[in-house]
C-alpha cells in the first residue's frame, strides 16, 4: 500500500491510501476458499458448497472486512511515519479518481493542538470537602419511611407534606386553558411539584374550597406564546391526604435487604451508600472546577473544528432526547451548543495531553474499586462485575472515566488549591 500525507491546515491532514485492486481480490478469494472448506449450508454437503454460492452469501462482508483491515494498517503507517497525534476518528472516503487496477481512498484527520507548556501550578482550584453526618443518616431514614408510607384521606385544611388532588383552569390574555372543564392534578405540598405561589395558596384550603391566584410564568415556559406572561389560575381542592409512615422495625429494615433487621447495621449500610454518593458528587465538583480553570488558562488554543462540531451535535442530540422525554421541544440548533462543545473538547484534549506528557497510567486498583462501588448498588454485585469484565465496550467506558478522574486528581494536587468544607446536602447539590 502506498501512503502519502498532505497538510490542509494547522490541525488537518489528508492521508492518501492507494493499493492494487488485485491484492484485495486475492485476499478476498483466499478468505472465501477457507469459508467454503468449512461452511455448512442447507442442501450442500460440508465443504462442497459451490464457490458462487459462497461469494453471493459472504463476498460483500469479506471484502468490507479486508478493506477495513488494510485501511487501518495504512492509517497506522501514516500516523507512525509522520508522528501524527490524531484527535477523534478519521473520516475515510473512496477517492473520486483512481488509476486502472487501483483502489484509492482519502482519509481526513484532525490533530491534537500544540498546547505549549503545561504548568498546572498556575491553576487555582477550590477543593470541596464533606463528610456524612448522623443527621444525614436520619434524613435518609425519613426518606425511606416516606417511600414506604401510605396515604390516608382527611377532612381538615391542607398543610405542608399533604398530598392534594386539585382541579384547575387558567386564563392567559383572555384565552382559557383548557377551553372547557378543568385539568386534574395531584402533588405533595412542599415538594416543588407546582409553582411556589400555587402551593402557598393551597395550604390552608379546605376540601371543595376554590381559590384564584395570579402566577407569572417563567421566560422559558414550554408554550412560547405564554412565556413570561401572568396567568390567572383557579383551583378547586378536591381532597387532602396525610402520609402514614411505617415504623423502623426489624421487618422494615429487612425489606431493604438487611437480613439481621438490626437498626445499627442498617445505619452503617446507609452511611456507606451516602459516602459513595458523596464521593461521586465531590469528584464531579472537582472535575468542573479543574475544567473551568483549564478552559480559562488555555482558551486561546486552536481546536480541531470537526471534533468540536461533532461534540456540539452530540450535545444537541442529548438535549433533544431529554426534552422529548419530558414532553418538551428544543428550539435551538447544534450551533447553540458550540461554546459548550468547545470547552468539553478543550478539557478532554488537555486531560489526555497531561496524561501523555507525564506518562500517567491507569491504576488497576482504582479501576477495581470503582467497579466494585458501582456493583455494590445492585442486588447481585458479582453479576455486574462479570458484565463489565465480559463487555469490552462497557469496560472501555469505565476505564476512560477512571483515567479522567485520575488525571483530574493529579492536576488538582499540583495546582494552587484551597479547601472549602460543605455539608452533605450542599455537596450533593440539594
Please determine, for residue 264, whether its predicted confidence score (pLDDT) is greater than 90.
Answer: yes
150-244 has the same fold as 2-110: no
Q: What is the pLDDT of residue 123?
A: 93
pLDDT digits (tens, 9 = 90+) for 316-355: 999 888 888 877 777 788 899 999 999 999 999 999 999 9
Q: Give the residue among 138, 151, 88 at the shortest CA–CA distance from 274.
A: 138
- 249 vs 132: CA distance, rounded Å: 23
* Model confidence at 312: pLDDT above 80: yes
- The model's confidence at residue 174, banded by pLDDT at 50, 70 and 90, is confident
* CATH code linked to domain 120-133+261-427: 1.10.3120.10
The reply to whether CATH 3.40.350.10 applies to domain 150-244 is: no
Cα–Cα dist 367/399, whole Å:
7
User: How many Cα atoms are found within 13 Å in the side-chain-facing hemisphere of 41?
Assistant: 15
**pLDDT, averaged across the chain:** 90
Q: Radius of gyration (Cα) for the chain, nearest Å?
A: 31
Is the per-residue pLDDT at 11 higher than 60? Answer: yes
Instruction: Return all residues near 228 (Cβ < 8 A) that are at least 6 apart.
Output: 216, 217, 218, 219, 221
Q: Is 80 exposed, middle or buried (0-12, 13-18, 19+ CB in 10 A)?
A: exposed
Using CA atoms, how far residue 248 sits from 193, 264, 379, in Å, is 27, 11, 21
Q: Check if the beta carbon of residue 1 is closer than 8 Å to that of residue 17.
A: yes
Which cell numbers in the block locate residue 151? Answer: 396515604
Q: Which residue intervals of 255-363 are DSSP H helices?
A: 263-297, 305-325, 338-357
Residue 389, helix vs strand vs coil? helix
Do you find a cis peptide bond into 272, omega within 30 degrees of 0? no
- 430 has a pLDDT exceeding 60: no
Highest mean pLDDT among 32-36, 106-110, 214-218: 106-110
Count of CB atoms situated within 10 Å of the CB of 400: 12
Q: Is the pLDDT of residue 385 over 70?
A: yes
Give the separation between CA 315 and CA 93, rounded to whole angstroms.
26
**Rounded distance, CA 5 to CA 236, Å?**
73
pLDDT of residue 379: 76
Angle (CA) 388 390 396, round 5°: 55
Q: Are 191 and 201 in contact (CB under 8 A)?
A: no
CATH number for the 2-110 domain, one of 3.10.20.30, 3.30.70.20, 3.30.70.1050, 1.10.10.10?
Answer: 3.30.70.1050
Distances from the Cα of 264 to the Cα of 147, 249, 258, angstroms: 20, 12, 10
Give the per-residue pLDDT at 37. 80
**Is 232's pLDDT higher than 80?**
yes
Whether pTM > 0.85 for this model: the answer is no
**Running DSSP on this structure, what letter comes out for residue 224?**
G
Ranges of each domain in the chain: 2-110, 120-133+261-427, 150-244
The answer to which of 43-52, 122-131, 215-224, 254-263 has the lowest mean pLDDT is 43-52
Ramachandran assignment for 131, one of left (phi > 0), alpha (psi -120 to 50 degrees), beta (any other): beta
At 370-380, the pLDDT tens digits run 998 888 878 78
Pair type for strands 163-172 and 175-177:
antiparallel
Mean pLDDT for 195-216 is: 90
Task: Say if CB 88 and CB 110 are below 8 A apart.
Answer: yes
107 in the Ramachandran plot: left (φ > 0), alpha (ψ -120 to 50) or beta? beta
- The pLDDT score that the predictor gives to residue 215 is 86
Amino acid at each position: 500500500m502506498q501512503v502519502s500525507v498532505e497538510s490542509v491546515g494547522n490541525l488537518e491532514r489528508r492521508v492518501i491510501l492507494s493499493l492494487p485492486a488485485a491484492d484485495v481480490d486475492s485476499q478476498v478469494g483466499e478468505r472465501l476458499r477457507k469459508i467454503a472448506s468449512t461452511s455448512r449450508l442447507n442442501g450442500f454437503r460440508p465443504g462442497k458448497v459451490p464457490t458462487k454460492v459462497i461469494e453471493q452469501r459472504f463476498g460483500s462482508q469479506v471484502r468490507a472486512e479486508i478493506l477495513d483491515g488494510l485501511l487501518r494498517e495504512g492509517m497506522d503507517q501514516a500516523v507512525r511515519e509522520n508522528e501524527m497525534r490524531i484527535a477523534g476518528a478519521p473520516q475515510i472516503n473512496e477517492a473520486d479518481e483512481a488509476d486502472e487496477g487501483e483502489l484509492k481512498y482519502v482519509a481526513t484527520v484532525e490533530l491534537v493542538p500544540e498546547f505549549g507548556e503545561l504548568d498546572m501550578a498556575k491553576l487555582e482550584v477550590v477543593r470541596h470537602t464533606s463528610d456524612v453526618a448522623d443527621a444525614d443518616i436520619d434524613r435518609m431514614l425519613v426518606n425511606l419511611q416516606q417511600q414506604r408510607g401510605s396515604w390516608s384521606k382527611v377532612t381538615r385544611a391542607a398543610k405542608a407534606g399533604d398530598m392534594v388532588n386539585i382541579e384547575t383552569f387558567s386564563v392567559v390574555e383572555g384565552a382559557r386553558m383548557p377551553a372547557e372543564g378543568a385539568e386534574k392534578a395531584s402533588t405533595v405540598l412542599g415538594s416543588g411539584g407546582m409553582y411556589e405561589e400555587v402551593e402557598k395558596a393551597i395550604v390552608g384550603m379546605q376540601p371543595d374550597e376554590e381559590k384564584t391566584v395570579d402566577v407569572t410564568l417563567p421566560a422559558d415556559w414550554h408554550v412560547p406564546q405564554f412565556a413570561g406572561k401572568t396567568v390567572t389560575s383557579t383551583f378547586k381542592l378536591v381532597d387532602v391526604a396525610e402520609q402514614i409512615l411505617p415504623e423502623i422495625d426489624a421487618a422494615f429494615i429487612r425489606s431493604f435487604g438487611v437480613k439481621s433487621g438490626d437498626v445499627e447495621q442498617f445505619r452503617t449500610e446507609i452511611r456507606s451508600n451516602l459516602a459513595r454518593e458523596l464521593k461521586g458528587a465531590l469528584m464531579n465538583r472537582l472535575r468542573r472546577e479543574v475544567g473551568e480553570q483549564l478552559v480559562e488558562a488555555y482558551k486561546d488554543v486552536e481546536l480541531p473544528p470537526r471534533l468540536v462540531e461533532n461534540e456540539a451535535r452530540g450535545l444537541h442530540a442529548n438535549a433533544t432526547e431529554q426534552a422529548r422525554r419530558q414532553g418538551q421541544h428544543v428550539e435551538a440548533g447544534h450551533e447553540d451548543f458550540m461554546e459548550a462543545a468547545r470547552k468539553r473538547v478543550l478539557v478532554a484534549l488537555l486531560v489526555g495531553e497531561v496524561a501523555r506528557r507525564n506518562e500517567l497510567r491507569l491504576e488497576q486498583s482504582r479501576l477495581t474499586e470503582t467497579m466494585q462501588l458501582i456493583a455494590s448498588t445492585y442486588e447481585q454485585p458479582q453479576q455486574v462485575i462479570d458484565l463489565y469484565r465480559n463487555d469490552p465496550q462497557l469496560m472501555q467506558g469505565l476505564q476512560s472515566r477512571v483515567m479522567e478522574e485520575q488525571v483530574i486528581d493529579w492536576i488538582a494536587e499540583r495546582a494552587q488549591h484551597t479547601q472549602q468544607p460543605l455539608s452533605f446536602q450542599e455537596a450533593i447539590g440539594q
